[in-house]
Structure 1
Amino acid sequence: MCIAKGTEKCKMINRNKLGRTLRTTLTTARVERRLICGLLPAISHLEKTPDEVVLCVLPTARPGDAATHIQTVLLQAFCYENYIPVIQVDSSDKLAKFCGLSTKKDNNSCNCAIITRDVTLPISGEDVIPLTENEQFLTDFYECTLEEFPRPVIELPI
C-alpha cells in the first residue's frame, strides 16, 4: 500500500521524533525476542519467512567495504520486492547498541537489523500483518518518503 505524496498522514509525521521512536521500537523488539541483528542472520530469516518481517533497519554504508555494500543493496531490493519497509540510520555502532551488542567485534557485525511481527497481535481477515503503534509510525514514514532522493537517514539518539 503506497500513500500518495502530500496526503494529510504524510504532513502529520513529526520527523524530530523518528530517532526516539526507532530506538523504542528496536529496544521493545529485542526484549520481546523479535529482533534479528546481522546481515547473514537477517538474510537467513528473510529466506525462510519474509512475510513475518515488519521492518528492516540498515546503517549508512561504510566507504571501502564493497562486499557489504553489494549484500546491502541486494537486501534492500529483496525487501522492496516483498513490501518490507527499509529504514536507514546514521550509525552501525548505535544500531549495535540498541540490538544489545556490546563489544567492538559485535558492532562490526551489526550492519543490518530486522524486526519480526508481534505474534501476540491477531492477524486480520485480509492477511495484513498487525503493527504496533511505533511500527506503524515508522512504516508511514517509509511510505511517505519512498520518492525522496537521497533517501532520508534517521539519526539515532545516543
Structure 2
Amino acid sequence: MCILKFKNSDKCKMINRSKLGNALQGVLTQAKAERRLVCGLLPAIARLEKASDDVLLCVLPLTRPGDAATHMQTVLLQAFCYENYIPVIQVDSSEKLAEYCGLGSKVDCPCAIIVKDVNVEGKPEPPLSPSEQELADFYECTLEEFPRPIVELPR
C-alpha cells in the first residue's frame, strides 16, 4: 500500500476519530469471518515474512509498562510495517483485541494483521471497504503526530 501525504486535506478533517473504534471492530470482525485475520506475534511475523505485500493493516495494542520484551517486539514490528508501507493502528487494549480475534477475553493479543482478499489470477484486487479505507486514511493523516493516536476499541 502506498502512503500518500494529504496531511491538511479535507479528507483528514472529515475523519471522526471517536467512531474509529467501531470501524476497526467491524473490520476485525469481517476479516475474521473471511479468514483474513492473523492474530498473535509469531503467526503475524510468519505471514509478514511470507507475503508482506498481502497485508492490509497491522493492529498493535499498547504495551504494558515494564514489559520490555513485548515492547521491543512491538517496536521492531512497527518498523518493519513502516518500511513496507503497511499502516499500523494502535489500540488501547490487548484483551479487547484478543476478544475480536476470537482468543477469549482473558488472553492478551500482542498484535493482529489483516490481509487482503486473496485474488484469483486474472481478477483485479477488490477495493477496500469503506471502513478499511477510513482506517488507512486515518493512518496517513496521523503519520506525523506524536505521540501516535490510540484508537479505543469498544467492548
Q: TM-score, normalised by structure 1?
A: 0.90
Which residue pairs with 1:138 in the alignment? Answer: 135
Which residue pairs with 1:115 in the alignment? Answer: 114
Report the Cα offset of residue 103 of structure 1.
Answer: 5.7
Q: 1:48 to 1:120 in 2, by over 3 A?
A: closer
CA offsets per residue over residues 78-128 of structure 1, 9 Å max, x none? 000000000000000000000111163xx23x110000002369536xxxx
Aligned to 2:102, the other structure's residue is in SS state: coil
Mapped partners of 2:116, 2:153: distance in 1? 22
Which residue pairs with 1:92 in the alignment? Answer: 94
Which residue pairs with 2:83 in the alignment? Answer: 81
Q: 1:103 to 1:145 in 2, by over 3 A?
A: closer
Which residue pairs with 1:70 in the alignment? Answer: 72
Which of structure 1's runs of 4+ aligned residues deviate more than 3 A? 120-124
Report the Cα offset of residue 131 of structure 1.
Answer: 1.8
Q: TM-score, normalised by structure 2?
A: 0.92
Q: Judge conservation of contact 1:118–1:130 (CA < 8 Å) in 2.
A: no
Letter of the 2:115 partner, please give it: T
Mapped partners of 2:124, 2:84: distance in 1? 18
Q: Percent identity?
A: 67
Q: CA RMSD in A?
A: 1.6
Q: 1:27 to 1:94 in 2, by over 3 A?
A: same
Residue of 145, 148, 152 corresponding to 1:148: 145
Structure 1: stretches of 5+ with no match in the other structure: none
Structure 2: stretches of 5+ with no match in the other structure: none
Q: 1:14 to 1:44 in 2, by over 3 A?
A: same
Q: Judge conservation of contact 2:57–2:115 (CA < 8 Å) in 1.
A: yes
Mapped partners of 1:138, 1:13: distance in 2? 9
Letter of the 1:135 partner, please give it: E
Q: Judge conservation of contact 2:99–2:105 (CA < 8 Å) in 1.
A: no
